Copies of this chain bind each other. A is one copy, B any other.
Amino acid sequence: MIALSPLHRVPTQADLLVTHEAIHPFVHRTPILTSTSLDELTGARLSFKCENFQRIGAFKMRGGASAALRFTEAERERGLATHSSGNHAQAVARAAQVLGVPAYIVMPHDAPRVKVAAVKGYGAEITYCNNTPHERQAALEEVVARTGAAFIHPFDDYGVVAGQATAAMELIEDVDRVLDYIITPVGGGGLLSGTALAARYFSIRAKVFGAEPEGVDDAARSLKSGKIEQNETNHTVSDGLRTHLGERTFPIIHKYVTDIFVVSDEETVAAMRLIWERMKIIVEPSCSVPLAAILRYPEVFRDKHVGIILTGGNVDVDRLPFG
């Protein structure tokens, strides 16, 4: 196992390269898919980086592994801890399993069933809490105090950012054409900031865009106002995108991201249905927000080569938003 140094600054090009090498035992190199039918529909040429096929079913495995490898063996021997309703929880649980250390995960009572089951399946101990920032934080602090486990923040951590960046690195390396744009969803900004760094370091000309649900449009407002804005509600079908930006992710996004598009939940579900029906792959609502943005703003994307990071595929197939 390659050890990584702790990151106390914005990751450099060299940081990303060594991170990509180090996380190899934890992740798949996911495929790029294309769709004639969606190209015709959007007027763009789309390359989908399929992180729904990633270990744990989402790109979060990259950031979780990258952060876990930055602790010393002594630090992580007492376990890894985090709070998350979903894919980051699975990533930390799985990283701990691979490393042979315990995992302690704080999850809200209403987390998706499939994600709770997966976290259990990786052998983690789950502490349930009510779904408010205050109670989540309190539960986490209690767990860390009790166990001495090392905390991995879901996004506001340069180690996590460096890990998430590796998805775009592979996309840029694998696509057999020069990308004009790369677009990702944005919640806390770990993936979007990592993607922006990867594009800056490794792409010839790709501009980076974010896409988020209108119910939690903090990132679009933050980009305009120049400071971290909060959300008044967490009402969106995209359960992975409810958080606001972090102190580490926002400055990277502010500096390097061209624009952030906002879409309605109806547009997200329609895009999700298109991906399911045309591409025959399973993606989460959160994952469908970028295609919704491309369909909403066709004049921006027409005739462009666009890389889309499909972030995850962990949905309860018994409770789908279609209908």
Contacts and interface: CB of A to CB of B under 8 A. Distances in A.
A146 to B, nearest CB: 32
Contacts of A322: 317-318
Interface string A271-306: 001001101111100000000000000000000000
Interface string A137-167: 0000000000000000000000000000000
A57 interface: yes
Copies held by the complex? 2
A280 B318 contact: no
Contacts of A52: 280
A320 interface: yes
A90 B161 CA distance: 45
Contacts of A133: none
A53 B313 CA distance: 17
Contact of A317 (B273, B279, B313): B273
A206 to B, nearest CB: 25
Contact of A281 (B273, B281, B320, B323): B281
B273 A53 contact: no
A31 interface: yes
Contact of A282 (B31, B280, B318, B323): B280
A317 B277 contact: yes
Interface in A94-124: 114
A278 to B, nearest CB: 9
Nearest to A50: B280
Contacts of A318: 322-323
The 4 tightest CB contacts between A and B, nearest first, are A280-B313, A280-B282, A52-B280, A317-B322
23 contacts: A31-B31, A33-B53, A52-B280, A53-B279, A53-B280, A57-B280, A114-B277, A273-B317, A276-B282, A276-B317, A277-B317, A280-B281, A280-B282, A280-B283, A280-B313, A281-B281, A281-B282, A282-B282, A317-B320, A317-B322, A318-B322, A318-B323, A320-B320
Interface of A: 31, 33, 52-53, 57, 114, 273, 276-277, 279-283, 313, 317-318, 320, 322-323
